[in-house]
Structure 1
Amino acid sequence: MSARLFPIGLLLLVALTGCGSRDTASEQAAEPPSECTAEAVQTMLGQFASAETVEQTRLQAGAEKVRVLAPGDAATMDYNPQRLNIDIDESEAIIRLTCG
């Protein structure tokens, strides 16, 4: 009986070995994300914070994420160097741009 199970066990071992492999070459080739630079987008101060303006500002700052904060909004205090923070006033004009 064990002679019949040997090919099945070998096949199972080969299949599981393939599941555990990783393509580390493509992971190493990927560039790390660039860091947010708020200084690059200070010209956006005073602009209306439309969805298009927010996305354009995020891209120009090199940020991975964006957070728009209106007066009275709660915000977490975690620091994320890949996040652009856009503070707006009551009329939704951009009043401050920071990274973190």
Structure 2
Amino acid sequence: MRIWRTVLLVAMSSTLVACGTPRNQSSSPHDEAPPPPNVSGNGSDDACGAESVQDRVGRPLSDALQRAIAEESQAERVRVLSPGEAATMDHRPDRLNIRLDEDDVIVEIGCG
């Protein structure tokens, strides 16, 4: 029994070591992570039209306001994010994110 545990431990360790990136490998500019997305709508990364709807920040979100934001921004997709709600971490420049506080008031509108 002890031999099998040792064999299993060695196999698992070898797998983890093989998955790591060698330290002496030089990285190219293409390996670096891209800059963080602009989620505030205050820059040139405005593929979702967030800049055009920044005046809605501070207002309570309603169905009618959400439709108006989607129409005016001309975003491909609109996602509403409430506090504590699970959300995917994929970055989609054409998606408009509307972040709410606990009272369903818009606290941020941005792309991503």
Please name the residue that 2:55 is paired with.
Answer: 43
C-alpha distance in 1 between matches for 2:78 and 2:95: 5
Q: Unaligned regions of 5+ residues in structure 1, if any?
A: 1-34
C-alpha distance in 2 between matches for 1:39 and 1:82: 13
Q: Which runs of 4+ in 1 moved over 2 A?
A: none
1:59 to 43, 46, 71: 71
Residue 45 of structure 1, CA deviation: 0.6
**Which protein is bigger by CA-based radius of gyration?**
1
Query: What RMSD in Å do the two structures reach over aligned CA positions?
Result: 1.0
Q: Unaligned regions of 5+ residues in structure 2, if any?
A: 1-46
Count of residue correspondences: 66
Between Structure 1 and Structure 2, which shows a larger proportion of helix residues? 1
Is 1:75 paired with 2:80? no
Please name the residue that 1:87 is paired with.
Answer: 99
C-alpha distance in 1 between matches for 2:64 and 2:92: 22
Is 1:99 paired with 2:111? yes
Give the TM-score normalised by structure 1: 0.62
Identical pairs, percent: 45
